Structure 1
Amino acid sequence: PLTEEITTYYPEIHGAEGLGPIHVPGNILSIPIYNFGSIAAILIKYGKDLTIVDVGRSTSLAIAFNLWNDLMLNVKGIYFMGGVFLEVGNVTPLAEANVYGDPIASKIVFHQAKNLFIFPLNVTNKAVLTPNVFNYIQANAKNPFHMIMKPM
C-alpha cells in the first residue's frame, strides 16, 4: 500500500488465493506478465477506448495516476469495486477490504478519475447474474480466466 504499512490480507473474505474458495489452475499462470511500465504504452495505444476494471486494492491504479495522469484522464471509464455505503463493512463495521487495505490509493483514484463508476460491497453482495447471462459471458470470454468463472 501507499502507506508503506505491512499489508493485511483477509483469507476469510477473499480466500487464500484472493478468489474466495476458487483455486486457480496452474496452467492459467502461463499467461504473459508485462512490466508495469507497459501501462503507459497501453494508455497511449487505446486511450479513449480503454475501460479499466479495478477489483482489488487500488495501489497500482493510483501509481498509474501519479506517473501518467494526462493519459489516465483519457480512459473511457474506470469501474471500481470497493467501499461500502449504508451497510456494515467486511473488515470493520465501517470499512470494506479493498479501500481499507490502501485508503490513500483509493483517495487518489476517487479524486483523480474521470468517469468513475463505483460498485460497493453492498452491490456485489446483492448482484444477480442469471444462468443464461453467465453462460453467454463464459462462452464468449476471450481471456484465460474463463475456466475459473464457473466455480466463482
Structure 2
Amino acid sequence: MKKIIIDCDPGHDDAIAILLAAGNPEIDLLGITTVAGNQTLEKITRNAQSVCAVAGINVPIAKGSSVPLVQKQVVAGDIHGTTGLDGPFLPEPTFDLDSRHAVDFIIDTVMSHEPNTVNLVPIGPLTNIALAMRKEPQIISRVESVIVMGGAYTRGNVSPVAEFNIYVDPEAADAVFSADWPVTMVGLDLTHQALARKELQDRVAAIGGDISTFVLDVWEFVGSTYREVYEFDYPPIHDACCVAALINPNVFTTARAEVKVELRGEYTRGMTVTNFESEP
C-alpha cells in the first residue's frame, strides 16, 4: 500500500484524483493539502472539503499557499469556472480544516513516517512543495517519490510551450525538479491521451449513486469547456494519472530525462525543457 499526500487545487481533474486515491485499496491517503491554482485558495480549499463530503472521505485537509513564490497569480476560470469546480453540486464540509499550514502538514507527515514511505502527489502548482523542502530540507531524502502532474515535452496549454501548473509558479517547479529526490513528470503528453471517453462515463453511470452522479457532472462541465477552449471531444483526467501510476506502475511507460524549468525566456517562461539523452 502506497502512503500519499495529495497537494492539489480542485479543479475537476483534482476531484477525480482524490476520489480515486480514497477509494483504491492500494492507496493510503494520509491527507490533502491545497494550493491556489485553478482558482483562489479559499475556493479550491472549499472544493476539496466538498469532494470529501460527497464521498465520505475523512482525512486531514490543510490549507496552503495563496500566491505563487514570485509572479502574479493566474487562475483557470475559463476551464474550471468561477468556483473552480463548477457543474456538480458541492455539499457543505463535514469537518474542519487541519489547523496547520499545508507546508507544515507536509513536513510533519513526512518526518513522522519511516523514511522512503511517503509519496508526494502534487497535482497543482508546486508552491507548497517548494516551500516545504526549503523549510525542512530533510524531507528531500525521506520522501519515497514525487509524482507531479505538470509540464510537457512537446507543447503547452497556457502558452505554446508551458503547461498551467508549471507556468503559474515556475520558480517553485524549478526548485522541485532540481532537488535530489525521485520526480516523475506526468505531463500533457501523457494526460492528453487519458480521456474520460463515453465508454468510461457509461461504466461510471452504471454504478449509480451520489458519487457516480458527482463524477458525471464533473465530466459534463469540464468536457464542455475543453470542447470550447481546446476542441477536445472528451476531457482529460490529468491528475488521476498520478494516482494511477502509484496504484499500478505499469499503467504508462516512463523514460529517464533531465528536466529544467525555463524562468527567463520572454516567450518560453514555464517551459519544461526535457533532455532524454542525459541522466538527471
Task: Indicate the TM-score class for this superposition, using the shorter chain for normalisation.
Answer: 0.7 to 0.9
Question: Per residue, is there more helix in 1 or in 2?
Answer: 1
Q: Report the alpha carbon displacement of residue 121 of structure 1 after superposing the two structures with TM.
A: 1.6
Q: Which amino acid aligns with 1:38?
A: F
1:109 has 2:109 as partner: no
Aligned to 1:30: 94
Aligned to 2:151: 83
Q: Report the alpha carbon displacement of residue 146 of structure 1 after superposing the two structures with TM.
A: 8.6
Q: Report the alpha carbon displacement of residue 38 of structure 1 after superposing the two structures with TM.
A: 2.7
**Kindly tell me: are residues 123 and 10 of structure 1, through their superposed partners in 2, closer, same or farther at Cα, counting changes over 3 Å?**
same
Q: Report the alpha carbon displacement of residue 70 of structure 1 after superposing the two structures with TM.
A: 1.0
User: Contact (CA 8 Å) 1:82, 1:98: kept in 2 or not?
Assistant: yes
Distance 1:147 1:31 in 2: 22
User: Contact (CA 8 Å) 1:78, 1:113: kept in 2 or not?
Assistant: no
Question: Per residue, is there more strand in 1 or in 2?
Answer: 2
Distance 1:62 1:23 in 2: 32
Give me the TM-score of the superposition, normalised by structure 1. Answer: 0.76
Q: Report the alpha carbon displacement of residue 22 of structure 1 after superposing the two structures with TM.
A: 4.3
Distance 1:97 1:24 in 2: 26
The SS at the match of 1:52 is strand
Give me the TM-score of the superposition, normalised by structure 2. Answer: 0.44
Rg larger for:
2
Aligned to 1:100: 167
Q: Deviations over 1:50-104 (max 9, x none)?
A: 11111100001100110111123211111100112112x1111111111010000
Q: Which amino acid aligns with 2:97?
A: I
RMSD between aligned alpha carbons? 2.8
Aligned to 2:126: 58
Q: Which amino acid aligns with 1:69?
A: P
Distance 1:105 1:6 in 2: 13
Distance 2:84 2:75 in 1: 9
**Kindly tell me: are residues 74 and 54 of structure 1, through their superposed partners in 2, closer, same or farther at Cα, counting changes over 3 Å?**
same
Match of 1:49 among 117, 135, 141: 117
Structure of higher RCO (CA pairs closer than 8 Å, 6+ residues apart): 1
The SS at the match of 2:116 is helix
Which blocks of at least 5 consecutive residues in structure 1 are unaligned?
A: 139-144
Q: Report the alpha carbon displacement of residue 116 of structure 1 after superposing the two structures with TM.
A: 0.8
Q: Report the alpha carbon displacement of residue 148 of structure 1 after superposing the two structures with TM.
A: 4.3
Question: Matched residues, percent identical?
Answer: 24
